[in-house]
Amino acid sequence: MIHTSRYLLFELIWALPVLALQWVLGWRYLLGTWRLWVPALMALTLYLSLADAVAIQQGIWRFDETALVGLSVGNVPIEEVLFYGLTSAMILQGMVLGWFFLREREAFLGRLAPWRARRRQASLPAEEAHHRQGEGRNRCGGEDEILV
């Protein structure tokens, strides 16, 4: 049983932890945008599986038949269809999460902007005083005068 499921187990062990992590981190965003990424996932899986059929027919790659469960769509093993589904899901979901991460970051920095501006203003008098002190020193015989 395990012998003939080697490819299937190999890809599931590889991909499922990543997908699980993505859902744990950003299930709100993934649920909120499912109307965008689910059709893209289906289209990519279908397209890449069709391309895979051509590659197999052309003999570009081949599989160890003893590692496959034996189900196939045309000449494409079901593991391959699943492979394209899993890889596409990892990338598409990664993109959705990255997109919203960047947006949240921008929004956070935007919310922080007034506070940072206030801090800058508050620190301005002290800085100015320091600056003026330095100017005064120069006027009353600083390094410049000595050099001259």
Partner 1 sequence: MSYATFVAIFLGLPLALLCVFLRRRLRDGRLWKLMGILVIVALAYMAPWDHLAAVWGLWTWAPLQTWQKKLWAIPLEEYLFCLLETVLAVALMYALLTSRRARLAEQQERRPRA
Binding region for partner 1 (CB under 8 A): 6-7, 10, 14, 18, 33, 35-37, 40, 43-44, 47-48, 51, 54-55, 58-64, 67, 87-88, 90-92, 94-96, 98-99, 102
- Closer by beta carbon to partner 1, 108 or else 123: 108
- Residue 98's closest CA among 29, 10, 38, 39? 29
Minimum distance of partner 1 from residue 43's CB (angstroms): 8
Nearer to partner 1, 59 or 141 (CB): 59
Contact assessment for residue 70 and residue 4, using Cβ atoms and an 8 Å cutoff: yes
Nearer to partner 1 among residue 79 and residue 143 (C-beta): 79
Judged by beta carbon, residue 102 or residue 124, the one nearer partner 1 is 102
Contacts of 73 (CB under 8 A, 6+ apart): 49, 81
Which residues touch 70 (CB under 8 Å, ≥6 apart)? Answer: 4
The nearest distance, CB 144 to partner 1, in angstroms, is 45
Least Å distance, CB 61 to partner 1, is 5
CB 112 to partner 1: min, Å: 19
The answer to whether 79 touches 56, Cβ cutoff 8 Å, is: no
Rounded distance between C-alpha atoms, residue 101 and residue 96, angstroms: 9
